[in-house]
């Protein structure tokens, strides 16, 4: 399994990822076209194509924080789901970046959210904040009540949230 950083010139792959991103994440939970394109010029944002045996199976959108990597979006493409790719991605990516942070919908929201929280739990993540509020992605989009999870022990949730807000959502 490999993680290849996508750049603005990778037109086909960039378009394939963006199409799947728009199909998989509700509008309130994602960046618009211009915001997505701006990720390619941001010094701490990365879009990784996840490949297995030369085939693109998904992607990660990440941000380098001072003491961790924040996973903003993570998707295994539909045709590759239920093959343990998600667990393999998290295990392999955490070998490269041992301190990971992510947001997820609260388990009580629906069965899909409950399964997703269970998936992250089985893969070494713990809920650190059940009152986390993801800032709005822009005009006409609402802030979202989510849970914040990490795969490491940390000592200052408030500082971590401040850094996420400033780094990931500060330019919106």
Confirm if 100 and 150 have CB atoms less than 8 A apart. yes
Q: Which domain does 134 fall in, by range?
A: 2-168
Q: Tens digit of pLDDT for each residue in 131-160? A: 999 999 999 899 999 999 999 998 899 999
Nearest to 71 by CA among 84, 58, 53, 55: 58
Predicted pLDDT at 155:
86
At 12, list the tokens: 């086909």
Q: What is the pLDDT along the chain (172 residues), one digit of tens a residue?
A: 999 999 999 999 999 999 999 999 999 999 999 999 999 999 999 999 999 999 999 999 999 999 999 999 999 999 999 999 999 999 999 999 999 999 999 999 999 999 999 999 999 999 999 999 999 999 989 999 999 999 999 889 999 999 999 999 997 6
3-class DSSP string for the chain: CEEEECCCCCHHHHHHHHHHHHHHCCHHHCCCHHHHHHHHHCCCEEEEEEEECCEEEEEEEEEECCCCEEEEEEEECHHHCCCCHHHHHHHHHHHHCCCEEEEECCCCCCHHHHHHHHHHHHCCCEEEEEEEEECCCCCCCCCEEEEEEECCCCCCHHHHHHHHHHHHCCCC
Q: Would you give the distance in Å from CA 158 to the centre of its chain?
A: 20
CA torsion angle 109 115 116 122 (round to 10): 140
Q: How many domains does the chain have?
A: 1
CATH number (domain holding residue 67): 3.40.630.30
């Amino acid at each position: 399994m490999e993680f290849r950083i996508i750049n603005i010139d990778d037109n086909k792959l960039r378009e394939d990822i963006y199409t799947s991103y728009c199909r998989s994440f509700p509008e309130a939970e994602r960046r618009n076209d211009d915001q997505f394109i701006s990720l390619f010029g941001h010094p701490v944002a990365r879009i990784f194509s996840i490949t297995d045996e030369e085939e693109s199976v998904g992607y990660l959108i990440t941000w380098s924080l001072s003491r961790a990597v924040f996973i903003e979006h993570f998707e295994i493409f539909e045709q590759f789901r239920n093959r343990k790719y998600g667990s393999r991605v998290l295990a392999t990516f955490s070998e490269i970046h041992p301190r990971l942070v992510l947001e997820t919908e609260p388990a009580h929201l629906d069965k899909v959210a409950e399964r997703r929280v269970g998936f992250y739990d089985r893969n070494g993540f713990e809920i650190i904040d059940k009152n986390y509020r993801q800032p709005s992605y822009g005009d006409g989009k609402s802030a979202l009540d989510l849970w914040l999870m990490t795969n490491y022990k940390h000592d200052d949730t408030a500082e971590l949230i401040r850094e996420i807000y400033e780094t990931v959502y500060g330019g919106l």
